[in-house]
Structure 1
């Protein structure tokens, strides 16, 4: 749901704003910003070379090219057809109504399942010697991740395995393939277009990337030997632990907090509860704080009461759920997560209030980008740094998808005075 709210906001607000405020002196923050600017200047999008896109990304993948093959342009998305049919019946420029139509139809269609996987995301199913398999993708609007779901007892119990592959990087699996999913007991196969991204998303004008098809007749074979490895049997295969979660593939509980990595909202870091973690939780999850009299057009200011932070946020989350009814939960929701990039220990250990989050350091994020797209989609928080020239005053910068802000925090007996300024928004 948040994805469509985001697109709705982008369609409504296509402007940039900036607010300035008196920033405290902080040499460490300047160094942090310089480092971040260097990172983004170095990372300039370049399409992968065609010859590299044709090379298998992992040694458990093999490719052959077919003389007779299925065509991706023949694939019909029945959900999108239904949505477009209904949207065409309403007046143009009624974005909110269009969103409501999409939401209503998707709720119905995604409630239809094979096993515990919604049918709209299933690419191919197969059965071999009593073993059921589902090849499916996640619900991301682009760069969906490809997973394999397997049952050895006729659908009573299922195990989940990440293939290590994302849609459009560099395979687009075809649901209309005439080849059976099972090649043999040790391998699965699926037809695919081999593609490469040639243009990154640009908000708000072009929120989706553009791709080029390099080969449209590939048959991809995936060896199950590596894909089925789950050394610690925590429900996350070793490939996903190494490439996506950055958790320990040999420990069911990477952060030793008593919660299985698959079920843990923050599987890498045990939560802390202190003045700084509560402060960040307010910034990330809080809403509707009354501004002080000192607020003006150049600066927003509010005061937080640290004693009631958790109760305040829980109440506000419930209010949002009342306003926007959540979807029925499915297995896909357990695979949904956010990535936050930060080198601050307190931020990495905050309460995420039911939102599964993978916290990565800036160095880890460079490794993450080798196998996962997301340079402009994942928020970045600087360290919380003490101001050089003001007592009990701290500073933090945030860069996100459609907005960025600088915060000043002043410690007071009841909690924090929070000043929000230097704001940009797309």
Structure 2
């Protein structure tokens, strides 16, 4: 039997036989077999169409013809490593440079977000000569051993926290320590970073870097208060450390008003390192680290060459440039703002009708819906969120949850997600929450 005619259950049986069981599937109780995709839609083996609200990797749309053609055309000419001169590498670096603050002018190209964050860790330690790292609670920075160590989302369930890792509170103004009614939550959360630094110094430890997702996603689609990064970075730099902005999930115009999510903090904030991945290649495996000349030169001063076999190859750079072309040609930043605002407006109307919706937060096409059991205590509605996700799948909508309580619906669709899609999703959510589409009484809200 050929793979093209294999039924879903046979594919699932082979996966269980051959693939590590820790490699989880979406909708594991009833997984989908997806055979093709286009734009914001995915199709199963029966041709059924699903609206993808998860896919922040297919940034400009699944199988975008311009990106596919760029890959195909350059694959026919040359694909080799970056130890040969090629214009695509420098042209792409220049294109990325034009989107960033001037001091972030040196680039390394790699294959995944995990590789990018691992290199950022090496750069930070070499430049500062320090070891310790500060991260957000519930942060996730990648699957390499070095990054599991700085990802509370993972290490809490493994070997625990290393002595050189320090965990700062999520700057969450909905369910964190300093909430929406606090007079200056940015300063309060930043002062907690200073306390962490002071405590580390008392133990004779020194800070190399603060790793921060510009918008914490796994943490629950968090929007840090404006000014927080500036104040936290001031404390970190005073201690001899640097600030690493992880843009792997939220960069490349997803937030609409800015090309990079860290820019939401204001023009006066510039990280020392920015890491990029996921949307950079629209599904093609590539990533990037941007940093300053000073940090790059300190890294080179070791005399140890940095070499990445596939990072920055001509095909990857051709794809990366085409993604930038599409973002510009199709005005996807403005589109993200317009559609994101519309989706937020629709969701906020639902909030007034359904007490289970505690908070709606987001910017551009990065939006979280925090489901709660109790308006006062804001207790995470974990089971209800799981139920809603399963019901939406039955309605041909693919959405996922995250956050410490696994209760936050997270919207990060391809950037071509449109007004009609937003209306469709919210109408289905409304019907499920009011029980109009329930097959039985079990599980209805």
Answer whether TM exceeds 0.5 for this pair.
no
Bigger proportion of residues as helix: 2
Higher relative contact order (CA closer than 8 Å, sequence separation 6+): 2
Tell which structure's C-alpha radius of gyration is larger.
Answer: 1
Higher strand share: 1
TM-score, normalization by structure 1: 0.29
